[in-house]
Structure 1
Amino acid sequence: MSGRWMSVEEMAGYLGVSKDTIYGWIAKREMPAHKVGRLWKFKSDEVDSWVRAGKASDEDNDQSVGDAQGSEKRTSERKR
């Protein structure tokens, strides 16, 4: 799937988050997105790099993202 153009819905499914989270990341986290007419499109390889660089995680993320981070943190703490 590397490098292909994806819609908001496809990207949300790809990353396992809601469409609202995607729109929030575009506005607040400088998620790599390209506006084509009225639609947002994404290159999966650009988004993969953005995620790997840690840009999707931040203490100031919206509530849904914060909840996911807290859950992930609790899970990793239990594994120690």
Structure 2
Amino acid sequence: MSLPWKRNGGSVLSSGGSNRLLSIDELADYLGIPKATVYDRWKVWGIPAYKVGRTLRFRERNVETWLERNRAA
């Protein structure tokens, strides 16, 4: 199941696991959780992250895979 989501401008971004890198803000928006929760839990959840400069980024496809693996039955 692929979940479409919106960005600041309100346009729907592609879903289904693109190579696009998401910022902490975008990931928090996508998951509907506070930014602080993403910072605190991304390692525990096992979502691969990339450090770009001083910021963390998350591949959209990795987030989609993680969501699929953790889908409630």
TM over 0.5: yes
Q: Secondary structure at the match of 1:17?
A: coil
Structure 2 partner of 1:30: 46
Distance 1:48 1:25 in 2: 16
Structure 2 partner of 1:77: none
Q: Which has the higher strand share?
A: 2
Distance 1:27 1:50 in 2: 12
Aligned identity (percent) is 36
Question: Are residue 9 (structure 1) and residue 22 (structure 2) matched?
Answer: no
Moved over 6 A (4+): none
Unpaired segments ≥5 residues, structure 1: 58-80
Contact 1:4 1:43 in 2 (8 A): yes
Compare CA radii of gyration and give the structure with the larger one.
1
Q: CA deviation at 1:9?
A: 0.2
Q: Secondary structure at the match of 1:41?
A: strand
Q: Secondary structure at the match of 1:20?
A: helix
Question: Are residue 41 (structure 1) and residue 57 (structure 2) matched?
Answer: yes
> Which has the higher mean CA deviation after the structures are superposed, 17-26 or 4-13?
17-26
Contact 1:32 1:50 in 2 (8 A): no
Unpaired segments ≥5 residues, structure 2: 1-13
1:41-62 deviation digits (Å, cap 9, x = unpaired): 011111110121118x8xxxxx
Q: When the two structures are superposed, what TM-score results if normalisation uses the length of structure 1?
A: 0.59
